[in-house]
Amino acid sequence: MKIVLFVEGKTETYLPQFFQRWLAPPRVPASVGIAAVNLRGVANYRSEIRKRTLVALAEPGVIGAIGLIDFYASGLRYPAGNIWHQYNWARQTIQSEVNHPRFRQHFAVHETEAWLLSEPDNFPREISERLPKGAPESVNHRNPPSHVIANAYQTRLQRRYKKPTEGAKLFAKLDPDRASERCPHLKLLLDEMLDLAKVNIVVR
């Protein structure tokens, strides 16, 4: 049994192991795999998500599908309102386009790197000292989390932050329980992923 995770870029394909640490016994009665599918950019994501979701959900053993893109770079024209209003509007917009009961759309607010900021001690000490101490999901459009992290690496270690390699290592250390405590939009994603798994493990 597995959930297909549609993402917008190749660097997000290291997320399945992080999600599987959440989606495992005793939370669910049986282990659920996560298979990441890179749709190669937001434009392709928006044009392909419905077709790719319907194909995936017709495959044996696939119990659900989740779409995940960065909130700050989604390309959507958000309505006026606070972050929760915009988030829910964006979710409903894409879920309505896909129109399948086993599909859920979510967003990393404002990037997946925000989740890494929930455990600053996972970074080298020189970096953790420079990271913001507030709510990780409040690191936003004007200076998104990846820029904050990259700037800290360049300033303190005089080298680039290599997202595909170092990001993957940091996510391997990241505790989903701790991250969800500090990132409410991530918690919404994880809880809905769990509900989707519980319901469809029983049904299927």
15-22 vs 184-203: helix crossing angle, rounded to 10? 70
pLDDT at 101: 95
* Integer Cα distance of 105 and 96 in angstroms: 10
Instruction: Convert the pLDDT of each residue in 181-192 to its tens digit.
Output: 999 999 999 999
pTM: 0.93
User: CA end-to-end span of the chain, whole Å?
Assistant: 9
Give pLDDT < 50 ranges for the chain: 203-204
pLDDT at 202: 56
pLDDT at 141: 76
Give the side-chain half-sphere CA count within 13 A for 66: 26
Residue 18: C-alpha distances to residues 81, 82, 186 (Å):
31, 28, 12
Calculated CA dihedral for residues 151, 43, 164, 133, nearest 10 degrees: 40
Q: Where are the domains of the chain?
A: 2-203
CB of 10 closer than 8 Å to CB of 38:
yes
